[in-house]
Structure 1
C-alpha cells in the first residue's frame, strides 16, 4: 500500500513562504523522488539573463526538502528534518525555466532504524537541475539529518 503524499506540495508552500514567493511548483511527489520547477522570471535572473545561482540552489534544496517531507511525513512527531550540509556544482549556463529532480539516497526504513537506535542519522538527497531542453545545468547533494524530538 503506497503512502499518500499529495499534501506535500501545499505543505511546502505554507511551511516555507520563500517557495511560494519564487513560484516553485511541484510536478511529481513520491516518498523517494520529487520533481520541482522554477519558472523563468526576470526578477530571479542574474547578470547574464539566467536564474541567479541562489535560485538554482534554492530550487534544488527545496526539491530535496519535499522528498524528505514525503519520505518521513508519518514520523515528524519524533524528529525534525534539518539540512546538515549541501554541495552544488554549476555545470552549464542556465537560461529559462528550470526543473530539479531530487532522489532520496537511503531507504527511509534504514534511516528510521538508525533514529530509533538512538543515533542521529544523516542521509543524502541527490538533485539534478535541468533546463527546458533537458540539459543538466547543476548537480547537488543535500545531506539531511533527523533531529530527535525532545522527550517532554
Structure 2
C-alpha cells in the first residue's frame, strides 16, 4: 500500500476532500486538492480550512515517507502549524512539502532517547504556478511508552 493510499484509508479528512497524493517521497511530497464546489469559500476558491488540510496532509505524507521505519518505536504527531494565505486560490491547488531538518538528524535524536521536533515547510500553488499560501507544520516523533 502506498503512503497516499494509507493516508486516504486512515485519515477521513483526506478522503472527504478527495486529496490526490501525487508524490510521496522522503525528500518531497506533493498533494493536490481538486476544484470542488462543496469546499469553496465565499469568493469561489477553496476554503481556507480545505487549504490547511491540504498542506497538513502533504506534511504528513513526507513525515511518513521519511520516518515510516520508525513507527514501531515512535508515533509522528503534529505539534503546531502556521499558515499564510498569500494570493487568491482558484481551481485546483497543489501542496509541496519538504523537510526542514535532515531525517538522519531527527533519527539520531530519537536514538539518543529524545523526542525530536522538526519543521515541514509547505508551498501551496494554484495551476498557474502562483504561490497562494505558505505553511510550516512542526512535527515530533513521540517514543512509545
TM-score of the superposed pair, with normalisation by structure 1: 0.93
Q: For residue 132 of structure 1, what is the aligned residue in structure 2?
A: 127
Provide the aligned C-alpha RMSD in A.
0.8
Q: For residue 99 of structure 1, what is the aligned residue in structure 2?
A: 94
Q: Distance in 1 between matches of 2:66 and 2:10?
A: 16
Question: How many equivalent residue pairs?
Answer: 145
* Structure 1 runs of 4+ with >3 Å offset: none
Q: Distance in 2 between matches of 1:108 and 1:15?
A: 24
Q: For residue 45 of structure 1, what is the aligned residue in structure 2?
A: 40
Q: Distance in 2 between matches of 1:79 and 1:88?
A: 26
Matched ranges for 1:1-152 at <5 A: 7-150=2-145
Deviation at 1:18, TM superposition (A): 1.2
Deviation at 1:123, TM superposition (A): 0.2
**Maintained 8 Å contact 2:13/2:53:** no
Structure 2: where are the runs of 5+ without partners?
none
Q: Distance in 1 between matches of 2:118 and 2:65?
A: 14
Q: Distance in 1 between matches of 2:124 and 2:12?
A: 21
Deviation at 1:21, TM superposition (A): 1.2
Deviation at 1:144, TM superposition (A): 0.3
Cα deviation 1:27-54 (Å, max 9, x = unaligned): 1111121000000000000001000000
